[in-house]
Amino acid sequence: MASTLTSKGQVTVPKAVRDLLGIGPGSKVDFTRAPDGSVVLVRADDQNHVSLFAQLRGHAGKGLDTDAILALTRGEP
């Protein structure tokens, strides 16, 4: 993925990268230099970023047990 640097030194972070890092408007990012000389963009406001899966886990409320699901699929009351 490539972005173009503006005359003000700004660059647009591609959506796929923003989604991966979980960042949006107002998020803090940090640029670190890796041992191989490359520069790495990391989320600075939450170094222990929790995955989207972990954030959503347990938010569906109380689920149905197996017997209830089978009864629903069979059309039983």
Q: Has this prediction a pTM greater than 0.85?
A: no
List, for residues 12-28, the tens digit of each pLDDT value: 999 999 998 888 888 88
Domain count, the chain: 1
Residue 58's pLDDT is what?
A: 66
In whole angstroms, what separates CA 20 from the centre of its chain? Answer: 5
In a domain, 7, yes or no: no
**What's the domain range around 48?**
15-74
**Which of 37, 34, 31 has the alpha carbon at shortest distance from 11?**
31
Gap between the Cα atoms of 32 and 34, Å rounded: 6
The pLDDT confidence band at residue 72, using thresholds 50, 70 and 90, is confident
Mean pLDDT of 22-48: 85
In a domain, 9, yes or no: no
Gap between the Cα atoms of 60 and 62, Å rounded: 7
